């Protein structure tokens, strides 16, 4: 598979966050997923996995845009969407931080979204005659590849 224009951001978080972990964001211009959504999904995943914890700061919209070589509007939209979903909070004059919200509730919301998407896929699979065993095999195969 050929991937064109992937930019990776490994921010030295010592200056941005309270700890020395790395914020890892990869964006691809050739992906069918919009850039803001790629950024949003990766930050959300790092929050849900515990890589980013409540109260930790994120790079400014401007710095993130510069590092990823994307528009400020793109990073602003990603941050705004994450704020709407309760993952981030912005404090005027101080920056953007991982929200203090209950992590379990955020995981529950993410699970609901996954279940809804799986339900849609299962309906589509059933409509073309895919058996449960075949579906499980497809799921396992893709799961192991990702």
- 62 and 126 in a single domain? The answer is no
Predicted pLDDT of residue 22: 60
CB atoms within 10 A of CB 135: 15
- 94 and 114 in a single domain? The answer is no
- 48 and 91 in a single domain? The answer is yes
Boundary-marking domain end, from 81, 98, 115:
98
58 in a structural domain: yes
CB atoms within 10 A of CB 75: 26
1 in a structural domain: no
Report how far residue 39's alpha carbon sits from residue 25's, in angstroms, rounded to the nearest whole number. 7
37 in a structural domain: yes
Report how far residue 49's alpha carbon sits from residue 62's, in angstroms, rounded to the nearest whole number. 25
pTM of the model: 0.65
Predicted pLDDT of residue 41: 93
Contact 143, 137 (CB under 8 A): no
pLDDT in single tens digits along all 146 residues of the chain: 444 444 444 444 333 433 334 678 999 999 999 999 999 999 998 988 888 988 899 999 999 999 999 999 999 999 999 999 889 999 998 999 999 876 677 778 788 889 999 999 999 999 999 999 999 999 999 999 98
Instruction: CATH number of the domain at 93, please.
Output: 1.10.10.10
Q: How many domains does the chain have?
A: 2
What's the domain range around 92? 6-98
Report how far residue 145's alpha carbon sits from residue 128's, in angstroms, rounded to the nearest whole number. 24
């Amino acid at each position: 598979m050929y991937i064109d224009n992937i930019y990776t951001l490994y921010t030295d978080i010592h200056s941005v966050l309270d700890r020395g972990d790395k914020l890892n964001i990869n964006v691809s211009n050739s992906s069918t997923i919009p850039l803001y959504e790629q950024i949003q999904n990766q930050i959300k995943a790092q929050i849900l996995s515990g890589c980013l914890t409540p109260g930790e700061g994120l790079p400014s919209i401007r710095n993130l845009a510069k590092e990823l070589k994307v528009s400020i509007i793109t990073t602003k939209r990603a941050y705004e969407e994450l704020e709407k979903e309760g993952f981030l909070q912005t404090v005027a004059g101080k920056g953007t931080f991982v929200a203090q919200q209950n992590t379990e509730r955020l995981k529950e919301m993410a699970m609901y979204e996954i279940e809804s998407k799986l339900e849609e896929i299962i309906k589509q699979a059933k409509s073309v005659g895919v058996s449960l065993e075949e579906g499980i095999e497809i799921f396992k195969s893709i799961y192991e590849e990702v």
